[in-house]
Amino acid sequence: MPNETVEIRGHLVDSLILPKVLDEILSYNGAFEILKIEVGRRRIDPSYAQIRIEAPSREDLEKILRRVKEHGAEILDEGDVTLALAPQDGVFPPNFYVTTNLQTFIRHAGEWMEVAEPRMDGGIVFDAQGREARVLRFSQVKRGDLMVVGHRGVRVVPLQRSTPRNVFEFMASSVSSEKPKGVVIQEVATQIKMAKQVGDKILVVAGPAVINTGAGPHLVRMIELGFVDILFAGNALAVHDIEQALYGTSLGIYLEKGMPAVEGHENHIRAINAIRQVGDIREAVAQGLLKAGIMHACIQHGVEYVLAGSIRDDGPMPGVITDALQAQDAMAAKTQGVALALMVASSLHSIATANLLPAQTKIVCVDINPAVITKLVDRGSFQTVGLVTDAELFFRELVAHLDRY
């Protein structure tokens, strides 16, 4: 019978890798023999297992190997990666290797090399000269690019879950609204401070409800305190923020009084027109037209931002990138070095951002609607903590912690 031997290393038991591997073998009609198993006796000890896999046919064996490699198994005496040319611009070669967001290595000329910019659902392009491999999306591939096909010679490093050591890890992947949020928010503040101390970046993704719920001033304070490096948002955030700065209303409601303004529903359109008239947001700040709010704070404090458009936008506000591919490129270019992404009250932009982040980036997702959080947390990363709560109350509490810094 066709067979192959694989090795697994890491926190085998703790991280459930071993049972998952055995389960995959059995699920696809294979059989296994555990040739060697060394289980670490303490948490930090690595484990090692060598498993011989048999399957009824070569094809079945290939399926099994493909699956177990996603759990980090390596084939003993695996050969080099297989390469093929991209047939056209924007088209991958048939059978191209589809990337994950995990740390990935490919074997070439007998040596393992890490793949740069790991990202979900792309292909791996190989630069034979420079000895570099990196992930491309469809729009980036050019005819003749040398791409990895099949799964031979590719190895991923699965995230290894350990028993939760803090509330952040404990809450990860849970979406209950009945959890003690105060403790989690405190821990998020701690994580943000720690990230800043080692020079990592904090990315905030914010939806328009940040303004509508009155959380704007808290986010402004967080920017002033230096805890925001990058802001991703859509047209609506900028519109409501600037409407609020210019007229005191958001969606026509006076935030300070919670009451509607006469003609308030026109204010957001007039805010767009006012900025279009002076050219763009930066110019509006320079001219003293825009004197408050989140966009103003970003410009004053050197926070980089990307405003990505959507088909539901009014206007748009100048500076909004209306082309989705260009917006993705602009966002991807800024995610390097981000240690923690705080996603608040934004569905579209949060999912788009999560698609671009490697698996080890921590994500904190805050939304009043559990369905939004479920979508993000379902990516399976246990680096994602979901909090079902209100944007204003969340930011107020978070910034109170950061302010004590």
Interaction residues for a copy of itself, span 5-64 (CB under 8 A)? 13-14, 16, 18-19, 22-23, 26-28, 31-34, 37, 39, 41-43, 63
Closer Cβ to a copy of itself, 84 or 226, answer by number: 84
For residue 78, state whether it binds a copy of itself (rule: CB under 8 A): no
Residue 202 Cβ, how far from a copy of itself at the closest point, in Å?
Answer: 20
Residue 105 Cβ, how far from a copy of itself at the closest point, in Å?
Answer: 19
Residue 127 Cβ, how far from a copy of itself at the closest point, in Å?
Answer: 21
For residue 405, state whether it binds a copy of itself (rule: CB under 8 A): no
Options 107-115, 192-200, 208-216, 334-342: segment touching a copy of itself (CB under 8 A): 208-216
Spell out a b/e string for 371-390, using b for 16 or more CB atoms within 10 Å of the CB, else e: ebbebbbebebebbbbbbbb
Residue with tokens 């904090």: 202
Tell the burial category of 403 from Cβ atoms under 10 Å away from its Cβ (0-12, 13-18, 19+).
Answer: middle
Binding mask 96-135 for a copy of itself (x = CB under 8 A): x-x----------------------x--------------
Residues 6 or more apart whose Cβ sits within 8 Å of residue 263: 252
Quote the CA–CA distance of 164 and 251 in Å, as a whole number. Answer: 42
Dihedral sign (CA 260, 261, 265, 271): negative
Quote the CA–CA distance of 68 and 75 in Å, as a whole number. Answer: 10
Residue 377 Cβ, how far from a copy of itself at the closest point, in Å?
Answer: 12
CA distances in angstroms from 139 to 147, 337, 405, listed in the order given: 14, 23, 43
Closer Cβ to a copy of itself, 167 or 189, answer by number: 167
Closer Cβ to a copy of itself, 57 or 273, answer by number: 273
Residue 9 Cβ, how far from a copy of itself at the closest point, in Å?
Answer: 16
Quote the CA–CA distance of 230 and 203 in Å, as a whole number. Answer: 5
Options 2-10, 106-114, 197-205, 368-376: segment touching a copy of itself (CB under 8 A): 368-376
Contacts of a copy of itself in 319-358 (CB under 8 A): 322-325, 327-328, 331, 345, 347-349, 351-352, 355
Q: Which two tokens stand for residue 85?
A: 């040319």
Contacts of a copy of itself in 124-183 (CB under 8 A): 138, 163-164, 166-167, 170-171, 175-183
For residue 316, state whether it binds a copy of itself (rule: CB under 8 A): yes
φ/ψ bin of 294: left (φ > 0), alpha (ψ from -120 to 50), beta (otherwise)? alpha
Among 56, 127, 378, 405, binds a copy of itself (CB under 8 A): 378
Quote the CA–CA distance of 79 and 224 in Å, as a whole number. Answer: 53
Residue length of the chain = 405
CA nearest to 102, candidates 382, 327, 343, 348? 382
Residue 359 Cβ, how far from a copy of itself at the closest point, in Å?
Answer: 14
Contacts of a copy of itself in 226-285 (CB under 8 A): 250, 253, 255-260, 262-263, 265-266, 269-270, 272-273, 276-277
Closer Cβ to a copy of itself, 292 or 348, answer by number: 348
Residue-wise DSSP of 184-222:
HHHHHHHHHHHHHHTT-EEEEEE-THHHHTT-HHHHHHH
Q: Which two tokens stand for residue 140?
A: 């980036």
Among 10, 73, 92, 228, binds a copy of itself (CB under 8 A): 92
Q: Which two tokens stand for residue 108?
A: 């070439």
Closer Cβ to a copy of itself, 87 or 226, answer by number: 87
Residue 106 Cβ, how far from a copy of itself at the closest point, in Å?
Answer: 17
